[in-house]
Amino acid sequence: MRKNKNNKPIWGTRIKKNASTLFKKVGGSLLIDKLLFKEDIEGSIAHVEMLYKQKIINFRIKNKIIWGLKRVNNEIIKKKFKFNYDLEDIHMNIESRLFELIGEDAGYIHTARSRNDQVITDLKLWLKKATKKIIILLDSTNSNVLKLAEKNVMTIMPGFTHLKNAQPISLAHYLLAYVEMFKRDKKKFKNNLEFLDENPLGVGALTGTSFKIDRNYTTKKLKFKKPTNNSVDTVSDRDFVLDFLHSSLVCSLHISRIAEELIIWNSDAFNLITLNDKLVTGSSIMPQKKNPDPLEYLRGKTGTFIGNINSMISIIKGLPLSYFKDLQDDKELVFKSNDQLKISLSLLNDVIKNVVFNKKKMLSLAGIGFTTATDLTDYMVRELQYPFRKAYLQTAKIINFAEKKNKKLHELELKELKMIEPKLKADVYKILDLYSSINSKKSYGGTSFENVKKMIKKAKIKND
Ligand code: ARG
């Protein structure tokens, strides 16, 4: 915003003293919100065109302002714009430069608007674009995971619960779980677009305006879907910020779970994967080390997302309506989460492309810990018509016996099995095999190889 001849801010006639030096330094948001310059200018142009259409300003002034705004836009893009940190924010900087470029007519631009509706219009426009970029990144993440899944339908690994071997599964099935997580993230970001598509411009400081503005016109111009309903709510509302921070947080939680899992798999104790040298760092003292630092980075950075959403929740909690300076911090949190999410997703993609599965180790681990015990129970229910609980009990006795003999289930002789459950027959060995265990899980969403192939196909076509 323009300063007057005494180099005082626009409100200098009313407020006689300069703001305290410290507050001037910390109270501004320019360093952060200069990122919104494009959207600010886009919004201003739509506003001015609407003012002209509604005969609130004349043709000459409209053209002059738009010419000036476009010039400011170029100056910023070409890095020729002198940002003035004494002028609080990007809105005031642009307006002030407009005065320098076109003189007093610049003063018409702020007719029927306030920075309160201006700033959220900018932020919503910006968030719409950022959200769409994240959706694209989520799509490419999923297509990379799917490529990996396609190669590993027949790769057998132990499925864990409580990190104890539970039941054998196809590695591809496991990877498809990640696909589901990212599909949900995508949907969340997509859903956020609904509120982001409500146009705040024109609600003024908090009451609306006495000018005969046309909010539907700016809505169309700025490609929103409809104008917001209530002026007080509009300038107070930051739910759309919470939505973005929340969706980012949940996505980062997914990333951190995957990272943690891969860290475990990469440990010497598990040794289920090997990371390409691109994805490890060494130790300054232990020459042999290859540490999975990028994965730890991904896990650790989730803290940033948790912090950002907690900050925004704390700002909003108990804040009366309508606008308060407290809300100014929203943008920094949004930008930080957005930047970090893009970095984290891109890094995760590097990981996905550079991980090698130690298939032999996966297979041998899948055979440890009586992972086909449930199959044996199911067999007794099916073949011997036992109630599930009875079959469960008999299986537990067989496992105790095998444990004592230090044998796997399929290593027990038929006569040993029969000692505990006389009705068992030789065909029981078929179901103790890891492949047939997996292949028997044909229920919808289960790990059978056929299901997994179908699900990969489905995920590829219906990448929605
Ligand atoms: N820089 C401010 C923000 O980001 C713009 C809105 C200022 N409005 C006000 N009434 N002081 O929130």
- CATH number, domain with residue 55: 1.10.275.10
State residue 298's pLDDT score.
97
Mutational test site, ligand 1, from 325, 331, 332, max ligand atoms within 8 Å of CB: 325
Does 261 share its domain with 404?
Answer: no
**Residues of the chain above pLDDT 90, percent:** 90
Does 44 share its domain with 100?
Answer: yes
Amino acid occupying residue 62: K
Q: What is the pLDDT of residues 252-269, one digit of tens each?
A: 999 999 999 999 999 999
Round to whole Å and give the CA distance between 49 and 96.
20
Does 324 share its domain with 394?
Answer: no
Interior/surface letters 418-448, b for 16+ CB within 10 angstroms, e for the rest: eebbeebeeebeebbbbeebbbbbeeeebbb
pLDDT of 455 over the 90 cut: yes
- Does some domain include residue 329? yes
- Which one is catalytic: 162, 210, 284, 443? 162
Does 147 share its domain with 292?
Answer: yes
- Say if ligand 1 is within 6 A of residue 323 CB: yes
* 99 neighbors 106 (Cβ within 8 angstroms): yes
Q: What is the pLDDT of residues 274-323, one digit of tens each?
A: 999 888 888 888 888 888 999 999 999 999 999 999 999 999 999 999 99
- Say if ligand 1 is within 6 A of residue 89 CB: yes
* 278 neighbors 354 (Cβ within 8 angstroms): yes
* Exposure of 400 in the CB half-sphere (CA atoms within 13 A): 8
Summarize the confidence of residues 95-107 as an average pLDDT: 97
- CATH number, domain with residue 439: 1.10.40.30
- Does some domain include residue 163? no
Identify the residue whose tokens are 């360093």. Answer: 31
Q: What is the pLDDT of residues 213-242, one digit of tens each?
A: 999 999 999 999 999 999 999 999 999 999
Question: Residue 188 is encoded by which pair of tokens?
Answer: 């969340």
Determine which of 4-13, 61-70, 204-213, 334-343 has the lowest per-residue pLDDT on average: 4-13
* 335 neighbors 127 (Cβ within 8 angstroms): no
Q: Relative to the CA of 29, which ligand 1 atom is closest?
A: 1
Summarize the confidence of residues 35-56 as an average pLDDT: 98
Q: What is the pLDDT of residues 417-437, one digit of tens each?
A: 999 999 999 999 999 999 999
- Which one is catalytic: 20, 283, 314, 364? 283
Does 299 share its domain with 330?
Answer: yes
283 part of the active site: yes
Number of domains in the chain: 3
Mutational test site, ligand 1, from 26, 87, 116, max ligand atoms within 8 Å of CB: 116
* Exposure of 190 in the CB half-sphere (CA atoms within 13 A): 12
- Does some domain include residue 1? no
Q: Which domain holds residue 375?
A: 365-463
Cα-to-centroid distance, 196 and ligand 1 (Å): 19
Burial status of residue 145 (CB atoms within 10 A of its CB: 0-12, 13-18, 19 or more): buried
Last residue of a domain, one of 95, 111, 127: 111
Q: Relative to the CA of 328, which ligand 1 atom is closest?
A: 12
pLDDT band at 458 (very low <50, low <70, confident <90, very high): very high
Cα-to-centroid distance, 150 and ligand 1 (Å): 51
- Does some domain include residue 4? no
Which residue has the CA at smallest separation from atom 3 of ligand 1? 328
Determine which of 47-56, 272-281, 383-392, 406-415 has the lowest per-residue pLDDT on average: 272-281
- Does some domain include residue 425? yes
Cis peptide before 140 (omega within 30 of 0): no
Of 400 and 14, more confident: 400
Last residue of a domain, one of 336, 357, 378: 357
State residue 4's pLDDT score.
47
Last residue of a domain, one of 311, 338, 357: 357
Round to whole Å and give the CA distance between 394 and 410.
16
Report the alpha-carbon angle 195-197-198, nearest 5.
75
- Say if ligand 1 is within 6 A of residue 29 CB: yes
pLDDT of 346 over the 50 cut: yes
State residue 258's pLDDT score.
97
Question: Mean pLDDT of all residues in the chain?
Answer: 95
Q: Relative to the CA of 115, which ligand 1 atom is closest?
A: 6
Q: Relative to the CA of 323, which ligand 1 atom is closest?
A: 10
- Does some domain include residue 435? yes
State residue 7's pLDDT score.
55
pLDDT of 333 over the 80 cut: yes
| Diameter of the chain measured on Cα atoms | 104
Round to whole Å and give the CA distance between 177 and 136.
19
Mutational test site, ligand 1, from 328, 329, 333, 334, max ligand atoms within 8 Å of CB: 328
- Does some domain include residue 274? yes
Per-residue 3-state assignment (H helix, E strand, C coil) for the chain: CCCCCCCCCHHHHCCCCCCCHHHHHHHCCHHHHHHHHHHHHHHHHHHHHHHHHCCCCCHHHHHHHHHHHHHHHHHHHCCCCCCCCCCCCHHHHHHHHHHHHHHHHHHHHHCCCCHHHHHHHHHHHHHHHHHHHHHHHHHHHHHHHHHHHHCCCCCEEEEEECCEEEEEEEHHHHHHHHHHHHHHHHHHHHHHHHHHCEECCCCCCCCCCCCCCCHHHHHHHCCCCEECCCHHHHHHCCHHHHHHHHHHHHHHHHHHHHHHHHHHHHCCCCCCEEECHHHCECCCCCCCCCECHHHHHHHHHHHHHHHHHHHHHHHHCCCCCCCCHHHHHHHHHHHHHHHHHHHHHHHHHHHHHCEEECHHHHHHHHCCCCCCHHHHHHHHHHHCCCCHHHHHHHHHHHHHHHHHHCCCHHHCCHHHHHHHCCCCCCCHHHHCCHHHHHHCCCCCCCCCHHHHHHHHHHHHHCCC
Does 38 share its domain with 128?
Answer: no
* Exposure of 90 in the CB half-sphere (CA atoms within 13 A): 25
162 part of the active site: yes
**Residues of the chain above pLDDT 70, percent:** 98
246 C-beta neighbours (distance < 10 Å), count = 19
Does 288 share its domain with 420?
Answer: no
Does 429 share its domain with 306?
Answer: no
- Does some domain include residue 139? yes
Summarize the confidence of residues 406-416 as an average pLDDT: 96
Burial status of residue 45 (CB atoms within 10 A of its CB: 0-12, 13-18, 19 or more): buried
Q: What is the pLDDT of residues 166-212, one digit of tens each?
A: 999 999 999 999 999 999 999 999 999 999 999 999 999 999 999 99
Q: What is the pLDDT of residues 108-162, one digit of tens each?
A: 999 999 999 999 999 999 999 999 999 999 999 999 999 999 999 999 999 999 9
- Say if ligand 1 is within 6 A of residue 40 CB: no
Of 4 and 373, more confident: 373
Mutational test site, ligand 1, from 15, 32, 89, 123, max ligand atoms within 8 Å of CB: 89
Does 149 share its domain with 22?
Answer: no
Does 392 share its domain with 317?
Answer: no
Does 281 share its domain with 388?
Answer: no
Q: Relative to the CA of 88, which ligand 1 atom is closest?
A: 1
Cα-to-centroid distance, 327 and ligand 1 (Å): 8
State residue 383's pLDDT score.
96
Q: Relative to the CA of 119, which ligand 1 atom is closest?
A: 5
- Say if ligand 1 is within 6 A of residue 116 CB: yes
Does 425 share its domain with 440?
Answer: yes
pLDDT of 6 over the 70 cut: no
